[in-house]
Structure 1
Amino acid sequence: MASSSSSTATERRGIPAAAFIEDVETYLNQSGLDVNTALAFLQERLQQYKLVEMKLLAQQRDLQAKIPDIVKCLDVVATLEAKKGTGEDLITDFEISEGIYSRARIKNMDSVCLWLGANVMLEYSCEEAKALLQKNLENAKASLEVLVADLQFLRDQVTITQVTIARVYNWDVHQRRIRQTATPKDEPHS
């Protein structure tokens, strides 16, 4: 007799693994569920997966936007370092507010101010800023890699759950047909 379910992982970072149901009847008997309850449970699990997917996709978008910003900051620090020993001023345009720019002449290129978030800005030497930004870039890339793996795992669980829902539904339809053909047809009375 085939086993009722098999699973390679029980969860990944809090995302429960979906069990593939090989034998629907055995699964229903072992779980003590009727078809409607099993389908309701599976639909609920599918909705939970979809909510987690939306959350992970939002995190992915945030990281994908953050990485180019960090790279841009690293480029600015590199430009400041390159100009530092030349004695030349750096002339640049910077954004004051959305769509409004001003021109600036930078004479002292020994330090740079970085926004850390929550309206906090700190001044760093160019070397410290470069090291901090490089570390942030590596962390963001590593986080993105983990997120992509989480999303792939989640998509696999969604697929398994959708297939399971279809299998349970199809099994139920098949059982109903068997019951219909097994019941004798009413013969007309003469």
Structure 2
Amino acid sequence: MKQFKNFGFGTQIRKSPFFEATVRWGAQEFSVYNHMYIPRDFGDPVQNFWNLVNDAILCDVAVERQVEIIGPDASKFVQMMTPRDLTNMSVGQCKYVLVTNSDGGVLNDPVLLRLGENRYWFSLADSDILLWAQGIAVNSGLNVTILEPDASPLQLQGPKSGEVMNALFGESIMGLKYYWHREVELDGLHLIVSRTGWSS
């Protein structure tokens, strides 16, 4: 593939709030995901692999946009979007779900977070599920509000990620069960921490 030395970052594609930090820490290549730039290359893929396998890495995944469903009919609406049975999903729980179209085709495979009795977030892979959900809601007859919250996820992965989380949030964070989340504060910032990663 041809390389471009003077690639310009246009305003029609959003930058993560962590964009400048990823460049400072060595990001050399980006691609587009959910209408945002995502860092793809930090220069040494072999070293990056071993950092993930042996230590811990922090990834800018602000591109994993959230779609918030809120309102008295939020549970009914969210269930309408996925074939996975959510009947027993508790507040504080996460579920891996498929969002499907009317023919059963997979549109996205997000992690669903239940933030409150009538409040959910879909944490998305790459597709325009915000628009899909808003389109479904128009004639659903359900009382829901659908929006994109101002949230920019980071992922901490690797076998030493627990040590990092313990240092940041204290021993209590170690009790967070797999596929659950909780609200915490760090240096005055309100955060939602979930344990949904694919590394240990």
Answer 1 or 2: which has greater strand percent: 2
Q: Whose RCO is larger (CA < 8 A, sep 6+)?
A: 1
TM-score band, normalised by the shorter chain?
under 0.3
TM-score by length of 1: 0.20
